[in-house]
C-alpha cells in the first residue's frame, strides 16, 4: 500500500506551475500509459489553461484547491474545492479562474 498527500503535492506543483510560461505542472500519482487507470494531479496558475483536447476515455476531475472552469463546446461547469466533475466524452478545455489544483482520473478504454 502506498500513501501520499495530494494537498502537499498540489502545493509543490503550484510552485512549479508559477515558474513556467505555460502556467501548469502535473504529476501522475497512479498508473500511467501502460495501465487502464491513470490519476494525475494538475496545477494551473490563475489565468492559465489546458487547451481544448480530446477525451482519452472516461474521466473525472476532483478539485483540490482554487476554482476551475471545464468547458465542452457551449457548455461549461465551474468547480471549486471538493467538487467532482465528470468530464464529457467530447473535446474540452480547462481554465484556471484562480490558482488551482485538481486530481484528474482517466480510465482508458
- Return all residues near 78 (Cβ < 8 A) that are at least 6 apart: 67, 68, 69, 70, 97
pLDDT band at 105 (very low <50, low <70, confident <90, very high): very high
Is residue 68 within 8 A of residue 44, CB to CB? The reply is yes
Share above pLDDT 70 across residues of the chain, in percent, rounded to a whole number? 100
What is the full DSSP assignment across 28-62?
A: EEEE-TTSSEEEEEEEE-TT-EEEEE---SEEEEE
pLDDT band at 34 (very low <50, low <70, confident <90, very high): confident
The predicted structure's pLDDT at residue 55: 83
The answer to whether residue 19 sits within a structural domain is yes
The answer to whether residue 18 sits within a structural domain is yes
d(C-alpha 107, C-alpha 8), whole Å: 24
The answer to whether residue 1 sits within a structural domain is no
The answer to whether residue 30 sits within a structural domain is yes
The answer to whether residue 16 sits within a structural domain is yes
Regarding pTM above 0.85, the answer is: yes
The answer to whether residue 73 sits within a structural domain is yes
- What are 72's three cell numbers? 465542452
Number of domains in the chain: 1
The predicted structure's pLDDT at residue 6: 96
**Element (H or E) spanning 106, and its range?**
strand 100-107
- What are 92's three cell numbers? 474540452
**Sign for the pseudo-dihedral over CA of 52, 53, 55, 60:** negative
Q: What is the mean pLDDT of residues 57-85?
A: 96
Q: Domain of 34?
A: 6-107
3-state secondary structure of 101: strand
CATH of the domain at 67: 2.60.120.10
Amino acid at each position: 500500500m502506498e500513501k501520499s498527500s495530494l494537498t502537499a503535492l498540489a502545493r509543490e506543483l503550484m510552485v512549479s506551475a508559477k515558474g513556467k510560461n505555460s502556467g501548469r505542472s502535473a504529476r501522475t500519482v497512479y498508473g500511467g500509459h501502460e495501465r487502464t487507470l491513470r490519476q494525475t494531479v494538475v496545477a494551473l496558475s490563475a489565468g492559465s489553461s489546458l487547451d481544448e483536447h480530446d477525451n482519452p476515455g472516461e474521466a473525472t476531475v476532483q478539485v483540490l484547491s482554487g476554482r476551475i472552469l471545464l468547458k465542452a463546446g457551449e457548455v461549461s461547469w465551474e468547480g471549486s474545492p471538493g467538487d467532482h466533475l465528470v468530464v464529457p466524452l467530447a473535446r474540452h478545455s480547462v481554465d484556471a479562474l484562480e490558482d488551482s489544483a485538481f486530481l484528474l482520473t482517466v480510465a482508458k478504454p
